[in-house]
Amino acid sequence: MGTDPEPGRLGASWIRAGTCGWVLTGLDRMTTIPGVFAASDCVRGPSLVVSAIREGRMAAQGVDRFLMRGETVLPG
């Protein structure tokens, strides 16, 4: 198993991928499908654990804002 996304997996019609095959997200880590979030390696490619933790926290804040309709109590 390599570090590249599996061919066709992210190119499926249900989720949008960028030119390199990684999942496209906004700053809140929401994908092009409302309520579906992504972070870390599937967004940026292989990364360090520190980056993955930061991305996971950003995604958690995005999920919290989505569920709480714009507000989050999670730390930054």
User: Domain locations in the chain?
Assistant: 23-69
Over residues 39-56, the pLDDT tens digits come to 888 887 777 788 888 888
Give how far the C-alpha of residue 24 lies from the chain's centroid of Cα atoms, to the nearest Å: 7
- Residue 69: is it exposed, middle or buried by C-beta count within 10 angstroms (0-12/13-18/19+)? exposed
Q: Buried (b) or exposed (e) across 25-52, using 16+ Cβ within 10 A? A: beeebbbeeeeebbbbbbbeeeeeeeee
- Residue 40 near residue 56 (C-beta atoms within 8 A): yes
* Least confident span in 5-9, 41-45, 61-65: 5-9
pTM for this model (two decimals): 0.59
